[in-house]
Amino acid sequence: MTLATPPKLRFATVWLAGCSGCHMSFLDLDEWLFELAERVEIVYSPVASDIKVFPEGVDLCLVEGAVANADNLELALQLRARSKVVVSFGDCAVSANVPGMRNLWAGVEGGSRQSVLKRGYVELADTGAQHPHAPGIVPELLERVLPLHELIPVDHFLPGCPPSAERIRTFLEALLRGEAPPMEGPAMLGFG
């Protein structure tokens, strides 16, 4: 008789409004990724799968990036509805970080959306200055960029810009053992 291997955890990573640095740090886990791959099945990830639709029945989902546009918002609501455990992965997800800097213009005429589009596509354009406008293709910016937990319930926070591979590994190892991640001290906490 062979012993049944425990079912693999259904694991997802999501990339919202961030620079992908948290995912790069995740890839910095190097050979430990082989150990992780023995414990989890990657069902959705911009760096490890080509699946376009966030699947049902996800056990653990790491979310990089703030919520800055309509697509981010839709995916955030979807991943929450379809995941058991949601993790704010890195400073942009935890605090809105650099993407959130445009919120400083929320109170000026036209709001932050208009201010950032005008600056990026009109004022700084060398030629062909125009607002991007392609409904259904280019997602609309939200007026405010928000950290993930201001929109959906978040189970764990993994700060850092990006969190180091070592921090990510300690965090995931604890979760895989069924324990709460040891979020204390400079090794595990700290923005920037």
Partner 1 sequence: MTTLQLQINGRAVSAAGDATVLEAIRSAGLQVPTLCHLDGLTPVGACRLCLVVIEGHPKLEPACVTAVADGMVVHTHTPELDTYRRMAVELFFAEGNHVCAVCVANGACELQAVAVEVGMDHSRFPYQYPRRQVDASHPLFSLDHHRCILCTRCVRVCDEIEAVHVWDVGYRGSSCSIIAGLDQPWGEVAACTNCGKCVDVCPTGALFRKEDGSGEKQPHPERAHQLVEARTEHHWHNQ
Among partner 1, ligand SF4, none, what binds residue 96 when CB lies within 5 to 8 Å by partner kind?
Answer: partner 1
Q: Quick one: 43 or 158, whose CB is closer to partner 1?
A: 158
Q: Which residue of the chain is nearest ligand SF4 when measured via CB?
A: 192
- CB closer to partner 1, 42 vs 168: 168
Nearer to ligand SF4, 41 or 191 (CB): 191
Footprint on this chain of partner 1 (rule: CB under 8 A): 88, 91, 94-98, 100-101, 103-108, 147, 149-150, 154, 157-159, 161, 183-186, 189-192
In the bound complex, what is the minimum distance in angstroms from residue 28's beta carbon to ligand SF4? 23
Structure-token pair, residue 49: 């799968």
Closest approach of ligand SF4 to the CB of residue 19, in Å? 17
Q: CA-to-CA distance for 132 and 86, rounded, in angstroms?
A: 32
Q: How far apart are CA 125 and CA 129, in angstroms?
A: 5
C-alpha–C-alpha distance, residues 95 and 97, integer Å: 5
Q: Which amino acid is at 118?
A: K
The residue among 12 and 181 lying less far from partner 1, judged by its C-beta, is 181
Look at residue 37 and give the partner it binds from partner 1, ligand SF4, none, a contact being a CB closer than 5 to 8 Å depending on partner kind: none
Are the C-beta atoms of residues 147 and 94 closer than 8 Å to each other?
yes
Which residues of the chain form contacts with ligand SF4 (CB under 6 A)? Answer: 191-192
Rounded distance between C-alpha atoms, residue 68 and residue 98, angstroms = 11
Q: Which residues contact 170 (CB under 8 A, 6 or more apart)?
A: 181, 182, 187, 188
